[in-house]
Amino acid sequence: MGAAKQLAQVAQLASQLFYAGNNLNISSSRAGSAVLRAASETKDEHSTRFRARAESLFQKALKYDSCDFATMFNLGIAQYQNQNDSLAQTTFEKVINGTVVPLAKLPDEERNSLLALITPKAAKIGYLKLGSAILAPIDSILATIGYPAGGYRWLYFPKLRNKEFVSATVEDVPDIFLSLESPKALENIYLLLGVSQTGIGLSFVKAKQKDAAKEKLEQALINLNMVTALNPQNAEAYHNMVHCYRETNQKKKAEQAYKKYEELSQ
């Protein structure tokens, strides 16, 4: 058999394996989503069984595409609904690590070109969507440093919303990041991570593990504050902040968070 023919056969086999893996990812993810919906429509042991099955299907889908962050997020939801905050926390952290890129990781030239896009008008919103012309080279750079998913078209700078702003500078870089997630999706990811961590922290409080509780609740506050930076109207974030501040002896902040929660819940 000639080398050219062997190469063609290998290429054909690789193509078949790729499409098979892609189909298994898609079918498992869709099945998992359907079963998770069924879990919300049933009760007791039936609902529990459906959620367990959904977890299994999402995990199977991720075996064939570890960068399928939509499926990974759904896996975290199933784990959270199964009251397994520790697993949910790990999954949501993986989603954020894969979909959020600190601007500081980009080379100077690309970083400066993105900073130049942040106008005073954009700063008031807290984010902007990148055009295709700038997206392709950025995705190429990110792929070389370990972000292979592509599509990091959202530039976020929520903390600039609350400061007097003329133009973005190097000093602002630590508060700016790229993501492939839309604003609402990113808000939900940070919220569920913060809520999961709040649950873990409160379980440590109940177990009288003071240091572990403080550490976990402080982690939760970082993520919950990101939620309110992205969306200052998120009542659930403030509700969880009340618990975190109260159990870390920040009574004034707990009161402020509760007041904000009450305002948004009316």
- The predicted-structure confidence for 67-120, as pLDDT tens digits, reads as follows 999 999 999 999 999 999 999 999 999 999 999 999 999 999 999 999 999 999
Tell me whether residue 113 is in a domain: yes
Tell me whether residue 205 is in a domain: no
Residues 137 and 61 in one domain: no
Residue among 248, 250, 213, 236 at smallest CA distance from 80? 236
Q: Does 28 score more than 70 pLDDT?
A: yes
Instruction: Tell me which of 181, 196, 231 is where a domain ends.
Output: 181
What number of helices (H) and strands (E) belong to the chain?
11, 4
Residues 37 and 107 in one domain: no
Instruction: Tell me which of 83, 115, 138 is where a domain ends.
Output: 83
Tell me whether residue 52 is in a domain: yes
Tell me whether residue 140 is in a domain: yes
Residues 155 and 79 in one domain: no
Residues contacting residue 258 through CB under 8 Å, at least 6 positions apart: 238, 242
Residues 54 and 117 in one domain: no
Q: pTM for the full model?
A: 0.88
**C-alpha to C-alpha distances, 258 to 188, 195, 201, 220, 236, nearest whole angstrom:** 20, 16, 18, 16, 10
Tell me whether residue 199 is in a domain: no
Residues 106 and 172 in one domain: yes
In angstroms, the CA 59 to CA 57 distance is: 5
Residues 116 and 177 in one domain: yes
Structure tokens at 15: 């193509």
Three-class secondary structure of residue 153 per DSSP: coil
Report the relative pairing of strands 177-179 and 154-156 from DSSP bridges. Answer: antiparallel
pLDDT reported for residue 9: 56
In angstroms, the CA 192 to CA 246 distance is: 20
Residue 138: domain span: 100-181
Tell me whether residue 214 is in a domain: no
In angstroms, the CA 178 to CA 106 distance is: 10
Tell me whether residue 191 is in a domain: no
> Which is more confidently placed, 41 or 121?
121
Residue among 190, 167, 187 at smallest CA distance from 230? 187
Instruction: Tell me which of 181, 198, 219 is where a domain ends.
Output: 181
Residues 75 and 111 in one domain: no
pLDDT reported for residue 39: 82
Q: pLDDT tens-digit profile of 188-246?
A: 999 999 999 999 999 999 999 999 999 999 999 999 999 999 999 999 999 999 999 99
Three-class secondary structure of residue 262 per DSSP: helix
For the chain, how many structural domains are there in total? Answer: 2
Tell me whether residue 90 is in a domain: no
